[in-house]
Amino acid sequence: MGGGRENSVSMLEAISKIEQLTGKKLNWTYVDENRKGDHICYISDLRKFQSHYPNWQLTKSLDATLEEIVAATQAAVSSGVSR
């Protein structure tokens, strides 16, 4: 569904955040060309969903989500599980 404006992030911002969390530089390449079908910018509008479920709220921030992904990936690598 998406996380709304407060949890939106560009790929470059996500890479930077993951590098900060891991303390490692990621191996990536930037291509200054739009991919066919890509959105230039996409932010989910959660208002309709929230109008139907007024007690619902986001429970995880973008940073918390990235921290979970990094931790799970590090645990998988440590245990020898391939992804």
Q: Determine the pLDDT at residue 82.
A: 64
What Rg do the C-alpha atoms of the chain give, in angstroms?
16
* pLDDT (mean) for 8-23: 94
pTM of the model: 0.76
Q: Determine the pLDDT at residue 69.
A: 95
Domain ranges of the chain: 5-78
Q: 37-58, pLDDT tens digit by residue?
A: 888 888 889 999 999 999 998 8
Which of 63 and 40 is assigned the larger pLDDT? 63
Mean pLDDT (the chain, rounded): 90
CA dihedral for 53, 63, 15, 40, sign (positive or negative): positive
Instruction: Write the CATH number of the domain with boundaries 5-78.
Output: 3.90.25.10
Tokens 């007024």 appear where? 54
Those residues whose C-beta lies under 8 Å from the C-beta of residue 7, and which sit 6 or more positions away, are 58, 61, 62, 65
Q: Are 42 and 3 in contact (CB under 8 A)?
A: no
